Amino acid sequence: MSFMAKPAVRHPKIAVNDLGLTVRDYEGGMSTLCAGCGHDSITSALVQAAFELSIPTHRFAKLSGIGCSSKTPAYFLRDSHGFNSTHGRMPSVATGANCANRDFCYIGVSGDGDTLSIGMGQFAHAIRRNLNMLYLIENNGVYGLTKGQFSAAADKGSTAKRGEVNMQPAIDPCQTAITFGATFVARSFSGDKDQLVPLLKAGMKHRGFGLVDIISPCVTFNDHEGSTKSYEYTREHFSPAIATDFVPPAEEIKAQYDEGEAMLVELHDGSHIILRKIDKDFDPTSRISALSKLQENTEAGEITTGLLFIDESQPGMHEVNNSSQTPMVDLDFNVVCPGNDMLQKIQARYR
């Protein structure tokens, strides 16, 4: 993938995090996307979230498939590990990498086309395994890279730039993920950084599979009247169910919250998320409540946003498989290799 370095300009008074790094240290190359593309705003939110969490940049691994969205890992965390895989296959690569080293913070970036069509099977099984990663869908309702065909996320009745009407119902990634057994599901909008950054931080810290579906308008092919993924439509139909704050383990919880109006969720590493309910009847710890809320709002043409579902009690892939705490690269092959005799014994069982 082509890479254009950003000029190294550093303001003398720029803020530093606990590691002494600035937000610029979390950036990547120059974006080559269309000016105004929602995906660039998501990149900026990711940079901010990683900076605020004070995770060393080399402790991240970025993975993606194919699409304009899947190009974006080139634009953040330039000092991190990364792999740009084939179309829809990012979850397999993320699974393999996670097995080899469970210490990284894995960020998968995908598109609505990459995930909901060719990559649907892979998406389903990454969720089912509760793979430890933050999985982002940069959702614009079209295949942006291949010039604006409807994706499986395009709403029935919405129109393409040239006027064709989409006759097929949309697949909702959040409802689908909750049904597949996902343990962290959120939805946001690329144009709402205040909502998006805490959700990204919480998703990075969640043990297991964290999905954030982000409406991210394609200004070139899907930002017209008749689109339900345009900036205008999203702003008009944005319906936050919950507001999210993220508090790292070392920080005291200072925020005031009234019981019944807000919930405190402790993550496995001791950090907390504070969820302030905007919709009082909504319970993000109930799969049924999350599904019915999403279904109701879909029927009303609204876009429900915020953390929609969380379950911290489920074991992640590593707990289930009792995988090695030590990265494979650091294992002493002579000690962990079962040897030729053991291999012969195993083979004998299958004769």
Ligand X SMILES: Cc1ncc(C[n+]2csc(CCOP(=O)(O)OP(=O)(O)O)c2C)c(N)n1
Residues in contact with ligand X by CB under 6 A are 66-69, 87, 111-114, 138, 140, 142-146, 151
Q: Pick from 112, 155, 172, 311 the residue near Mg ion by CB under 5 A.
A: 112
For Mg ion, the closer of residues 48 and 140 by Cβ is: 140
114 binds, among ligand SF4, ligand X, Mg ion, none (CB under 5 to 8 A by kind): ligand X
Q: Which of residues 124-143 bind Mg ion (CB under 5 A)?
A: 140
The residue of the chain with the least Cβ separation from ligand SF4 equals 144
Minimum separation from the CB atom of position 183 to ligand X (A): 24
Tally of residues, the chain: 351
Minimum separation from the CB atom of position 8 to Mg ion (A): 32
For ligand X, the closer of residues 114 and 155 by Cβ is: 114
Amino acid at 313: S
111 binds Mg ion (CB under 5 A): yes
For ligand X, the closer of residues 142 and 186 by Cβ is: 142
Nearest to residue 313, comparing CAs of 183, 186, 218, 199? 183
Minimum separation from the CB atom of position 218 to Mg ion (A): 7
321 binds, among Mg ion, ligand X, ligand SF4, none (CB under 5 to 8 A by kind): none
For ligand X, the closer of residues 25 and 213 by Cβ is: 213
41 binds, among Mg ion, ligand SF4, ligand X, none (CB under 5 to 8 A by kind): none
228 binds Mg ion (CB under 5 A): no
**What CA–CA distance (Å, rounded) separates 242 from 214?**
15
* Residues near 77 by beta carbon (within 8 Å), at least 6 away in sequence: 26, 27, 28, 46, 47, 50, 57, 60, 62, 107
Range list of H helices, the chain? 38-53, 68-71, 90-100, 112-113, 120-128, 173-180, 193-205, 231-237, 287-299, 317-321, 333-336, 339-348
* Residues near 330 by beta carbon (within 8 Å), at least 6 away in sequence: none
Helix 193-205 and helix 38-53, axial crossing angle in degrees, nearest 10: 50
CB 166 within 8 Å of CB 158: yes
- Where along the sequence are the contacts to Mg ion (CB under 5 A)? 111-113, 140
